Amino acid sequence: MTPELGVTTASGAYPVIVSAGALEQLPERLGALGLRGVLWLVSDAAVAAAYGAALAARLSQAGYQVQHCTVPSGEASKSQEQLWRLYDWMIGNGVERRDVVLALGGGVVGDLAGYAAATVLRGIAVVQLPTTLLAMVDAAVGGKTGINHPLGKNLIGAFHQPRLVLADTHTLATLPRRELCAGWAEVIKHGVIREAGLFAELEQLAAQRGWTETGFSGWNAEDPELTGRLTALIRRAVAVKVEVVSRDEREQGERIILNYGHTIGHAVEALVDDWALLHGEAVAIGMHAEARIAAAMGLCDPALVERQRRLLAAYGLSVTLPANLDPEAVLTLALRDKKVRAGRIRWVLPTAVGNVTVRDDVPETTVRAVLGG
C-alpha cells in the first residue's frame, strides 16, 4: 500500500495517505483499522455523481453495509439545517457507536460530516476522503469540524480527529480549474509558513511549465510526469499540516501559523456575494495583504511580497481586493475571528519564506493603508 504520513495527537494517531488511486485502498484500510460498523457515506451532489456510487459498490463488495446521503454543493451546506438533516438520517436509520461516517468531498462536506460524527451519539468515528485540493492540504487533516453562523464562518464546531485521511489525487482531474487554483493557495501558504524548499519547488515547476506567463494549466491525467510531480508537492504540503497538528492539536500555540492569510481572507470572503470568491481565492488575497503588513512593519523584505505574488499568479490566483470593499468592514469582521484574544487580533506575518511570526501589535492604521492601497 501507499506509504503513510501520520498524525499523532493526544486524541489519538491516524494515517494520512496521499496518492493517485488511494480510494481503491479504502476497504483494506478500514479493515486494518478494525472499522467494521455501518458506513455512513456523506457527499455533495456533484461528488456523489462522480465517485459516490462506485465507492459504495466497492465497499459493499468488501462486505460493508453502506448508507449514502448527499447534501447540496456549496458553503451554504455548512448550516444547522443540513446538520439536522444528517442527524435525522443517521438516527432515523439506527446509527450505532461502532459505525463510521465517511466524508467524501471538499472542505464543506468534511467539516459538516465531521461535526455530525463528532456529536451524534456523543461521537462516532469519521474517515476523511477529500476530493478537492483545498480539502486535501487543509480541511481534511487536523480534526477541525463545524458549521457556519450568520455572524461568521466556522464559529460552531468541535475538534474531532479522523481515524483515517485518504486523499486520492485522481479526483483532481475532474475538478474545475478555478477550484484547483484555489487549492494551490493553501499549498503555497504551507511553503511560506514552514517549508522554503516546497515554495522553491513550486516556483521551479511553474517556470519549467511556463505558468509564470500563462498561469496554471490544469490537472492533466494524461501527463503522468506532471501528475506525479504535483502529487509529490501536495504530499509535501500535507506533511507540513501533519507536523503542525501533531505538535498542537487544539490551536493553543504553534497551530495558529496555519491561519496565515486567513485573518483578512475570512473577512473578505464573508463580505462578498456567494461564489464571488472561493475560500482559497480569499486566502490568496489575505496572504498578499498580510505580507504587505509585515513589510510595512519591517518584519520582512519587500521582495518577499513580490515573490509570493508572482507564485500565486503562476498558480492562477489573483491578489486584488474586490472592488468597493470597505476596510472598516474587514476590520470589524476580523475582530470576530477565532484568533482574537482579549480584543486584539493575533496576526500571522511572514519574516522570510519558510518562517512566520505571530503579532498582536499591528496598528489599525497599517491595516487600513494596506487594504486601501
Annotated active-site residue 279? The verdict is yes
Catalytic residue among 195, 203, 249, 251: 251
Annotated active-site residue 251? The verdict is yes
Q: Which residue has the cell 486520492?
A: 168
Of the candidates 54, 32, 33, the residue with the CA atom closest to the CA atom of residue 43: 54
Catalytic residue among 78, 279, 309, 339: 279
Catalytic residue among 170, 186, 194, 288: 186
Annotated active-site residue 68? The verdict is no
Catalytic residue among 78, 190, 255, 309: 255
Annotated active-site residue 186? The verdict is yes
Q: Which three cell numbers stand for residue 252?
A: 493553543
Annotated active-site residue 144? The verdict is yes
Catalytic residue among 29, 144, 194, 235: 144
Task: List C-alpha distances in Å: 193 to 200, 211, 214, 249, 300.
Answer: 13, 23, 26, 17, 13
Would you tell me the crossing angle of helices 196-209 and 177-193 to the nearest 10 degrees?
A: 140
For 2, the 3-state DSSP assignment is coil
What is the helix (H) or strand (E) element at residue 69, kind and residue range? strand 66-71
* CA–CA distance, 112 with 344 (Å, rounded to integer): 29
DSSP state of 23: G
Annotated active-site residue 250? The verdict is no
Catalytic residue among 163, 262, 288, 309: 262
Catalytic residue among 122, 222, 225, 324: 122
Contacts of 78 (CB under 8 A, 6+ apart): 108, 111, 112, 146, 147, 148, 153, 154
Q: Which residue has the cell 465507492?
A: 55
Q: Which residue has the cell 512566520?
A: 356
Longest dimension (CA), the chain: 62
Annotated active-site residue 338? The verdict is no
Catalytic residue among 259, 281, 292, 309: 259
Catalytic residue among 153, 236, 241, 309: 241
For 339, the 3-state DSSP assignment is coil
Catalytic residue among 266, 288, 292, 309: 266
CB 287 within 8 A of CB 309: no
Annotated active-site residue 266? The verdict is yes
CB 318 within 8 A of CB 354: no
Instruction: List residues with catalytic annotation.
Output: 122, 144, 186, 241, 251, 255, 259, 262, 266, 279
